Structure 1
Amino acid sequence: MSGRSIADLPPWVLAVGPVVILGGVFGLLYAISPFGDLAAVGEASTLEIIWMLAVIGVFAGIVPVAIGMLWFPFIRDLDPRYLHAFLALAAGVLVFIAIEMTEDIVENGAEAGSPSLAIVLAIVGISGTFLVMYAASTWRQRTMADTQKSGLEIAYLVALALGLHSIGEGLGIGVSFIQGDATQVLLLMLAFVLHNVMEGPTIVAAVARDRNTPPLRHFAAMGLLAGGPVILGGWIGSFGEAPLLAVLFFAIAVGAILQVLIEVAELIRFDAEAILTRVNAATFVGGFVLMFLLEDVVTELVLEGWLLAP
């Protein structure tokens, strides 16, 4: 029995298990209701804001990455086309969120005392973040090309790159939280959970190069490295109550998402003849439409008091 691992479980358990765990996470999230009354967030103490954003960051960042890691033993044996479809679905979700955040940039820019400065901040935030993320990605790819590196080392590099964009995710959550936008917080959480679940397999895929499975502590460390920065970003974003700061923070988040979309395309192109296939296009659109429908559902539930009730 000592030689058995999670990979020895029946395939249907490996496929369904993470989904069940994810459902349990959402159930727990609803039960503990960490959001509180966002309309009264201005009266919350600094410690309360830090705690609530930490809880949100754990559920939006660390937990889904860990769940995705559990999925790896199953998807490792799937036809690459289906893995590409999952990645395209995540890309569709992120495109929807990028559009939502762009609307937030426009709205906050209009409320700012200096619209011209808001435009400059938006351009600098988006382009600057994109270029920094692109440089980090290029460095990672050059480093990964070193055949002397182990799969575990490469997996840590991937987790580091994903952690950088996770800060952008947290920024969006923090700004929406401090502005008391409950619907936006929930939408961002749903989107990032769907996306970050796919980060788990992306991180540990390189480990398959190694003959020996690394100790569990390495998987925990990589999960924290990739998903933990959502918490840090949330804390920083909580200072974005001022319209100009909100513009900058949302712009940084959009820039990070744009770079991640390129990363997703590169991951698909790595072992596929074409990025744009019928299956990938269908799942991409499906991810976008899913978030569009979720926006209406979440908004309706918030208005009716089903969610975020004190």
Structure 2
Amino acid sequence: MTRLSVDDLPRWLLAVGPVAVLTVVFALLYVTSPFSDLASVDSASTIEIVWMVTIIGAIAGLVPVAIGMLWFPFIRDLDPRYLHAFMALAAGVLVFIAFEMVGEIVEYGAAVDRTLVSATVAVVGVGGTFTVMYVASTWRQHKMASHGKSGLHIAYLVAIALGLHSIGEGLGIGVAYVQGDATLVMLLVLAFVMHNVMEGPTIVAAVARETETPPLRHFAAMGVIAGAPVILGGWVGSFANTPLLAMLFYAVAVGAIAQVLLEVAELIRFDAEAVLSRTNTATFVSGFVLMFFLEDVLVDLVLEGWLVPV
């Protein structure tokens, strides 16, 4: 009996499959409104709060990242030129997230009484993280046996950067939960599901250029690194949320993304020499615009009542 594999599936199914899975998850959240009753949060024990925030964080972070990674079989068989374009699209996603977090840093900085302290936290967070990741990346590249860039290495760096970003998402969820604002919790979860599903292909884009597919454990590890910090942020937001702490998380994430963007550019240059080709530029802009649509336009529609959960 012949065993079927993912490679035997039609290309259109590999492209549409994750969208179908996301639609089912989104519909279930929209219809069931699992976080509609938070009336007992004031009397909940610490363990109960941690458990519920963990569940919410997993739905908002781990699930959509895993769904997005299901696009790997489709991305893997792309022509190298289009694979580079997909990596450029991933870079556009990262740049949008970075710009978004810079705005959050400014907003939280305004809430801190001591301007010098907030500015120091922002500069040290961004610069320190970039420097540490750059040094670590350079050291690892020198230790690698091959002379080329490792796609798996880049993918892990992307996952780390996205994971640091995800802590900020969790902060918002944790604060909304302990305040007993069920509507806001639901809106945040829906928004982050739409937002984070694009993190999956952003992570695996670099791996797709490898001649051999890495073991499944690497995909699981990268998914956890990118998505699980939503849970960590939820814990922090539930018990110890402060503007200065939020600034630090966002600044660290911006520094990590800056380092990852440098790595992605070098990876494309190693394969194709020209980073800013017409196709790469177009997909980079598309990634930025797509995240703007997912993060701002759709979320605004939800908040204004056009897409209110039942």
Superposition TM-score tier, normalisation by shorter sequence: 0.7 to 0.9
TM-score for the superposition, normalised by structure 2 = 0.78
Identity of aligned residues (%): 54
Distance apart, 1:119 and its partner CA: 0.6
Q: Check if 1:165 corresponds to 2:168.
A: no
- Conserved? CA contact 1:97–1:191, under 8 Å: no
Q: Residues 296 and 62 of structure 1: is their aligned pair in 2 closer, same or farther, counting only changes over 3 Å?
A: closer
Provide the rounded CA distance (Å) in 1 between the counterparts of 2:190 and 2:255.
21
Q: Residues 48 and 31 of structure 1: is their aligned pair in 2 closer, same or farther, counting only changes over 3 Å?
A: farther
Provide the rounded CA distance (Å) in 2 between the counterparts of 1:256 and 1:43.
39
**Count of aligned positions:** 299
- The equivalent residue for 2:118 is 118
Provide the rounded CA distance (Å) in 1 between the counterparts of 2:198 and 2:54.
19
- Conserved? CA contact 2:167–2:229, under 8 Å: no
After superposition, where does 1:67-146 map in structure 2 within 5 Å?
A: 67-143=67-143, 145-146=144-145
Q: Residues 196 and 74 of structure 1: is their aligned pair in 2 closer, same or farther, counting only changes over 3 Å?
A: closer
- The equivalent residue for 2:10 is 10
Q: Residues 32 and 142 of structure 1: is their aligned pair in 2 closer, same or farther, counting only changes over 3 Å?
A: farther
- Conserved? CA contact 2:151–2:208, under 8 Å: yes
- The equivalent residue for 1:209 is 212
Distance apart, 1:79 and its partner CA: 1.0
- The equivalent residue for 1:291 is 291
Residue in structure 2 matching 1:197, options 189, 194, 201: 201
Which secondary structure state, in structure 1, belongs to the residue aligned with residue 71 of structure 2?
helix
Provide the rounded CA distance (Å) in 2 between the counterparts of 1:38 and 1:243.
25
After superposition, where does 1:17-28 map in structure 2 within 5 Å?
A: 17-28=17-28
Distance apart, 1:276 and its partner CA: 0.8
Tell which deviates more after alignment, 107-116 or 56-65: 56-65
Letter in 2 for 1:87: M
- Conserved? CA contact 2:154–2:264, under 8 Å: no
Q: Residues 99 and 49 of structure 1: is their aligned pair in 2 closer, same or farther, counting only changes over 3 Å?
A: farther
Provide the rounded CA distance (Å) in 2 between the counterparts of 1:218 and 1:99.
29
- The equivalent residue for 1:268 is 268
Letter in 2 for 1:191: H
Residue in structure 2 matching 1:176, options 172, 179, 189: 172
Distance apart, 1:187 and its partner CA: 4.9
Which secondary structure state, in structure 2, belongs to the residue aligned with residue 209 of structure 1?
coil
Q: Residues 70 and 44 of structure 1: is their aligned pair in 2 closer, same or farther, counting only changes over 3 Å?
A: same
Letter in 2 for 1:301: V
Unaligned runs of 5+ in 2: 177-183
Unaligned runs of 5+ in 1: 148-153
- Conserved? CA contact 2:108–2:246, under 8 Å: yes
Provide the rounded CA distance (Å) in 1 between the counterparts of 2:304 and 2:266.
40
- Conserved? CA contact 1:175–1:238, under 8 Å: yes
Distance apart, 1:194 and its partner CA: 0.8
Provide the rounded CA distance (Å) in 1 between the counterparts of 2:285 and 2:195.
14
Letter in 2 for 1:194: M
Q: Check if 1:301 corresponds to 2:302.
A: yes
Provide the rounded CA distance (Å) in 1 between the counterparts of 2:63 and 2:291.
20
What RMSD, in angstroms, separates the aligned Cα atoms of the two structures?
A: 3.6
TM-score for the superposition, normalised by structure 1 = 0.78
